[in-house]
Amino acid sequence: MAQEASSSTSSKTISLKTGDGEIFEIEASAAKQMKTVQRLIDDLGDDITIPLHNVFSKELPKIIEYYKKDITGEITKDFEAEFVKDLNDDEVKVLFLAANYLDANKLFEFLSQNIADRLESKSVEYVRKYFGVENDFTPEEESKLREERAWSFRGIKEDE
Amino acid sequence: MAPGSKIDDSEITATNNLFSDVVTLTSPPLPTLPVDVILEILCRLPAKLLLQLRSVCKWWNFLISDSKFIKKHLRMSTTRRLHFLRYLSRPQNKYILTSYPLDSVFTNLNTDLTEFEYSPNNFKGDYPRTTFEHFIGSCNGILCFADHYKGLVILWNPSIRKFKDLPLFTKPDVCIDFHMTFGFGYDSSTDQYKVVVVLDYLVPVSTTIWVLETEVKVHILGTNIWRSIPTYPFGGVPVPSALSGKYVSGTMNWLVSKDPLGWGKPCYILSFDLVNESYQMILPHIDGEDMCDLWSIGVLRDCLCVTSGNDVWIMEEYGNKESWTKLFTVPYMRVRDNSHVLITPIYMFDDDQVILKFNSDNDLDLALYDSKSDTLKLTDFHPIDYQTIPEVCIESLISP
């Protein structure tokens, strides 16, 4: 299908279908900020519902909310703080992966920083669980590594 | 944004089919995060945590130690600290390095400090006699200081707590009035850190006649030697009161005086290009007139900066003499005995406030200049080593 000229009005909306079958509307100018969505629009046209296999109905509204604010230039530090305030570490991670899948750069960078801030005072064990990484060091190897950097292990918060 | 980070469609379709009959739909289990996505988070973490996270698993140990990641971390790094150096002579013979958060100059708190002691291996019983030591400079998270008696240069990254003593260089044989002035910087064309030393001394040509000689040597970090290179052709000696060579935009810069004893006023800036190892003479001037009342040299916001009297000038575009701009004039400071107050610029914040050091009669005071309101106020920040000139250094994982 031929793509509309890039001077499409901001009132034009695109339909997005999540991996769990729900449909959400988003303004074309907001969709432009998510490169994956824009690529799909370029391939499939903007009149059909764009399927997003890897994003679900729990995350997509939040992402749409972010970009709604972005296109009106209203994203402030206060808004971003409020945006993640009630999300726990796992919810932020899911949102972060969705932003990655959608190639939504601004949200991706904001969430990278937010996750980094959350991890700042956490322990090695917590980080392993968070990223789903298995420890393949032997107990001897691990204690040797910790000894070499003993000073860096002082002053960590207990795991939540 | 990392390319190729899209999840494989067939994998997702299969998982979706599994869940398609479930009434309450939740997201399927997360696939393992792609590496480039993990790195986007890791590169924003503080160095201290990253050192711990090397214990997460073997793959992470490799990732975090990899030079590409370390460079990425440096690019993202914004944490800076204020560092002080002092030397305790006999019987301790050790350096004390202390650092504070940069906003201590605002909060005046001197309790959030990190202190470290160091006794270089190369002292070997031959210790520095002077207690006045100072940082030569810092670059990419590495601080550089030296014992100006033996010429022992020490590199130190406080974020990873690693020291390195550099090899000693050969000193001239028969001479008097021997001085060494160092500079520390980074050559981006070869990804090498370099230390440069300018030696100046007097040699006898007869029983009553002595002439000034200068030598320049370069040390590349990771090698064992100091390489002698041709000295600068403009004459004069680096001025000790201006302290070391300052690194900016791939060059090293010293204030030089034409007086062979180095006591005269500095009148030009010796610029040394780290990449092609060539010299340039830089004369700060405004309205066609050369400034010859230069007192100190420094770097503010990656621009070369000089003080002339009470004026602080920066060269907005390095090498372009038309780009010298007066940043501000320090408001008159009353001093006890009318001796000249030496002003050294230390650091400029994003909001244009400047940390300055005032040196008069061995008394150091740190002051904050606010360009918006043109006001200067002395800080109440008085750490124990406030006599020395502090250095602002960024956090990084780079090994010296």
- Model pLDDT for residues A23-39, shown as the tens digit of each residue: 999 998 899 899 999 99
CB atoms within 10 A of CB A123: 17
Q: Contact A106/A96 with Cβ under 8 angstroms?
A: no
SS3 content of chain A, % helix, strand, coil (to 5): 55, 10, 40
C-alpha to C-alpha distance for B186 and B267, rounded to whole angstroms: 26
Interfacial A residues in 33-52 facing B (CB < 8 Å): 35-36
Residue ranges and CATH numbers for the domains of chain B are: 9-75 (no CATH), 77-394 (2.120.10.80)
Asked whether the whole model's pTM tops 0.95, one would answer no
Residue A17 has pLDDT above 70, yes or no: yes
Q: For A108, how many CA atoms within 13 A lie in the half-sphere containing its CB?
A: 21
What percent of chain B shows pLDDT beyond 70? Answer: 80
A130 at B interface, C-beta within 8 A: no
> What is the ipTM metric for this complex?
0.86
H helices, E strands: number in chain B: 6, 27
Enter the tokens of residue A140. Answer: 């001897």
Q: Which residue has the higher pLDDT, B315 or B120?
A: B315
B38 at A interface, C-beta within 8 A: yes
The model's pLDDT over B45-55, given as tens digits with 9 standing for 90+, comes to 999 999 999 99
* Top mean-pLDDT range of B5-9, B100-104, B222-226: B222-226
The model's pLDDT over B167-186, given as tens digits with 9 standing for 90+, comes to 999 888 878 888 899 999 99
Residue of B nearest to A34 (CA): B1
Angle at B299 between CA B294 and CA B303, to 5 degrees: 100
Enter the tokens of residue B4. Answer: 């190729």
Q: Which residues in A lie closer than 8 A to residue B65 (C-beta atoms)?
A: none
Q: How many residues does chain A have?
A: 160
C-alpha to C-alpha distance for A142 and A149, rounded to whole angstroms: 11
Question: How distant is the Cα of A97 from the closest Cα of chain B, in angstroms?
Answer: 8
Question: Is residue A8 very low, low, confident or very high in pLDDT (cuts 50, 70, 90)?
Answer: very low
Give Cα B191 to chain centroid, integer Å. Answer: 17
